[in-house]
Copies of this chain bind each other. A is one copy, B any other.
Amino acid sequence: MKIRYAVGVDLGGTKIKIGIVTDEGKIVKKIAIPTLAEEGVEKSIGQIKKGISTLLRGNKNSITGIGIGSPGVVSLKKGTVENPPNLPGWVKVHLGKIISNEFSIPTFVENDANAAAIGELIYGAGKDLKSFIMITLGTGVGGGIIFNKKLFRGDFGGAGEIGHVTIDHNGVKCNCGSIGCLEAYLGNNYFIRDVKEKLNDHKDSKIFQLVNDDLNNLTPQTIHEASLLGDKFSKDYINYLGITLGHGLASIVNILDICNIIIGGGVSGFGKPLFDAAKESLKSRVLTSLKPRIEILPAKLKNNAGIKGASSLVFYD
């Protein structure tokens, strides 16, 4: 069968990453350019056009479509992007129309977390699954729900906010305005702050050597490295994160009766110890009839997951 190609646009607050991707999820060419969000909506749209033009030079005829993963609320029908948090001034932008008119190529826009879920469905760990919950652990905790091979978008495309499931309604404040959201425990910045605090009582942790006694250098990678060096505090902390993740996932599985979980994003790099703790904790908390079906899988789209996820929109129907 002939290989088909799509353009994937990963629209971020500071950078736009664009790639040409095969229908098997391989990137054949890619670039990254600044979003220049501070120079206004028109400027950023110009950057997207410029980036796609550069990439398409000499390749245009072989492109099946353009997929764009954008922050904010995306209306599928209209291809509009509304109020993305990191793109000031984008009140309501008809991004799909603008790009398809410019290049005369079918263009699909979707929220970036949803695009990541579709990416796993089309190219990745969800290829052989009928339904799964995708969760991305990074600065925020994002997600997407695939049910019967389709993205579940809810009434207005906002479904799948896995990070804003409550685990403790009297717990830690979340930036979303609520209290005790999963993101307030598993989000990068939240747990780095928590680790810094807890290290006051663990002065013997190997983390101090790894950061040259300056906790400003502390990243999730440091905790990972320390754990691999056998540091008890770091191992315990990763285990605690896994357990907490399992508690959040239990609510979602009980509501949806979808038992396959795919976990991606930088923080998922903690690997097996995180996954094992999450699976055990999740199993211990879901309803009895669901326990035997629980599976947790690592995401397959790692590097350039944003570009690949966006491109997958073209091959998804």
Give the B-binding residues of A (Cβ under 8 A). Answer: 73, 83, 130-131, 145, 147, 152-162, 164-171, 176-180, 244, 247-248, 250-252, 254-259, 284-290, 293
Residue contact A154 to B258, C-beta cutoff 8 Å: yes
- Do A257 and B287 contact each other (CB < 8 Å), given the known contacts A169-B167, A244-B169? no
Residue contact A166 to B164, C-beta cutoff 8 Å: no
CA A45 to CA B247, docked complex, whole Å: 39
Contact of A155 among B154, B162, B170, B257 (CB under 8 A): B257
- 18 residue pairs A–B, Cβ–Cβ below 8 Å: A152-B256, A154-B257, A154-B258, A155-B257, A157-B257, A158-B287, A160-B257, A161-B255, A161-B257, A164-B254, A164-B286, A164-B287, A168-B168, A168-B169, A168-B180, A169-B247, A177-B285, A255-B256
Further contacts, 4 of them, CB under 8 A, given A147-B152, A155-B259, A168-B169 = A155-B293, A164-B254, A164-B287, A168-B171
Residue contact B244 to A159, C-beta cutoff 8 Å: no
User: Which residues on B sit within 8 Å (CB–CB) of A169?
Assistant: 167-168, 244, 247
User: Which residues on B sit within 8 Å (CB–CB) of A167?
Assistant: 166, 168-169
Instruction: Point out which of A147, A152, A160, A256 has the most chain B C-beta atoms below 10 A from its C-beta.
Output: A256
Copies of this subunit: 2
List the B residue with the shortest CB-CB distance to A249: B166
List the B residue with the shortest CB-CB distance to A285: B178
Residue contact A131 to B155, C-beta cutoff 8 Å: yes
CA A285 to CA B180, docked complex, whole Å: 10
Top 7 nearest A-B pairs by Cβ distance?
A154-B257, A158-B257, A159-B257, A169-B247, A164-B254, A161-B254, A178-B285
User: Which residues on B sit within 8 Å (CB–CB) of A170?
Assistant: 168
List the B residue with the shortest CB-CB distance to A185: B169
Instruction: Point out which of A154, A167, A247 has the most chain B C-beta atoms below 10 A from its C-beta.
Output: A154
Residue contact B165 to A251, C-beta cutoff 8 Å: yes
Measured CB to CB, the closest approach of chain B to A171, in angstroms, equals 8
CA A148 to CA B252, docked complex, whole Å: 20
